Amino acid sequence: MKQLKIYSASWCQPCQQLKKTISANDLGIPVTTVDVDAWKEEAKVDQVRSVPTLILLENGVEVKRATGAKTLDQLKEFIKT
């Protein structure tokens, strides 16, 4: 099962734009958003160095990673394997 994990921050403008894009559209997979300020240890474990960071998981294992805001088309392309 695929899942999209997004690391973001409330002060990050690209993160806020990405949240709007995701909330307005159905990507067809579960999306989890993690605030790097509230969940510093989790961000450290996943080696997040910038926000937004998108991690595509398949059966709980990372298969793809990207950084920066994405358009809806870019998000759809990213979640294809």
Along the 81 residues of the chain, how does pLDDT read in single tens digits?
999 999 999 999 999 999 999 999 999 999 999 999 999 999 999 999 999 999 999 999 999 999 999 999 999 999 986
pLDDT reported for residue 20: 95
What is the b/e burial string over 28-42, where b = at least 16 CB atoms within 10 angstroms of the residue's CB?
eeebeebbbeeeeee
